[in-house]
Structure 1
Amino acid sequence: MPKPPAPDELDAIAVELYALPPAEFTAARNARAAASDRPLGARVKKLPKPAVAAWAVSLLGREGQLGDALELASALREAQDDLDAAELSRLSGQRRALVAALSKQAAALAGERGVAVGAAAREDVEKTINAAVMDAAAAAAVMTGRLVRPLEATGFESVDLTDALGGSAPDGSAAPPPPSRDDLAERRARKEAEKAAREAERAESEAERELSRIEGRLGKARERADLLHERLEDLRDEVARFERDSADAEAEVKRIDEERSEAASVARAASKKAEAAREALEERGGR
């Protein structure tokens, strides 16, 4: 009995054939089957013609940015496993925007090769990219470059990959086993630890900002206190000068008052003498 062809050999031929525009596929497949030995040729002959949407997604995987979507897929699935609603909502929004952008890119790449992607096929392209983002097995299938029909993710169930590829199924086409309870507990614990660390860092930053604000206020208060202290010292010196001047003025007043008292006494004595002299003069005049 002839030995069946190795899957790698068949898959390599399939990748080459599925890189051709769909309109060229059948003729190229038949020619390649005829040129191969009988066992391999029979397998090549059975390779199905790809749907336009499937071919466009394979093209995107080869020449576009489909890898970006598949990187997002890992984070999205982890958020689902951990039941992190906020992260899931954020990643879901990113996924929808990325899927739409990649679908547009796939249609543009197909158009450059003369293949029109109609409205229905465009919708299938979006569904297929979304399925690859949502499901690891679907992502592995898409990245083989041998997709023959569109894929679709329904909820969080595994994507149906039956007859989705030309050639063998990739090693990662089987759905991964669900995470164990220990794995989920570890992921949740890690998420909680990361959240606690972020909150602690935010609290630390806020405390440092508050400390900086208080230190700024303290510096201004110290400057004002120093200025007032200097002014107070100046005022104390001035008060001391005023007290000395006041004491000198009081002493001057006392001295002048004593002089006035002495002058008043002299004036009274002189007035008495003058009065006596006037009286004496009047007596002599009367004689």
Structure 2
Amino acid sequence: MYDGPVLDNHLHLDPVNGRGVEAAEEFARAGGTHLNVLNKPSWHLVGDVDDEDGFRETFELTIDVTEKADERLPGRAWPVLGVHPALISQLLDRGYDPDEAAELMQAGIDVAAAHVATGPALAIKSGRPHYEVDDAVWEASNAVMRHAFARASEVGCAVQLHAEEGEDFEPVAEWAEAEGLPRERVVKHYSGGYVEGVIPSVISHRDELERACEGEWPFFMETDFIDDPDRPGAVLGPKTVPKRTRWLAEAGHEEALRRAHVETPARVYGVDTEATLRR
């Protein structure tokens, strides 16, 4: 049976409206050891953002709750900070044009990159809308994403992408490489069991996890838990990755679990989940 680290690669902890650290404790009680904690969209934490200070406030809230979660885990919790791509629609509704919205979002990416450079954050979050938008918004969103790749290359970190469904992200991987970021440092959040070009962070549904385990490519497991009191188990609850890890171990997927929880975190983020489990 697999008895190594258990990482949820994409989970939210909301210290303003949600359960916050309590959800991390539930994850640990279920057998989880490590968390990558993504900041919730800025409008959920601090309201409207019109300058870098709004992003700083959003990120500081996430850093603080992640540090508290870190104290309650047998392993580590790391913040992953950035700008949710749906912010562009929020800004358009408030009177920004696409280029103005992209400029503000890029400023938020810069703040996130600074937190990586100075130590608190592990990686950057970016992406593009997963819903239909017009060409100008799509182009502006891609510009923000490419800016995130460039800044990640400068500070030496990975980028988690919130983007549309699908398996072909080869063009996105090529954009990352053009900005100096290796494609293996680009992670597709809320992925199916396989994607082309970048690293899948597989939403922990049984069928998609089985598909990932049956291949030989690197992958992560995630819940995308959103920590919303009105939707307590959405998207998946914090116990899901530990429970799915046990289920996959019972099915004989120990090698794949080591890939998800040890080898891929080392390859993408440069973290040692085994060494940090023994701290």
TM-score using structure 2 length = 0.25
TM-score using structure 1 length = 0.24
RCO higher in 1 or 2 (8 Å CA, sep ≥ 6)? 2
Higher percent of residues as helix? 1
Higher percent of residues as strand? 2
Please identify the structure whose Cα radius of gyration is greater: 1
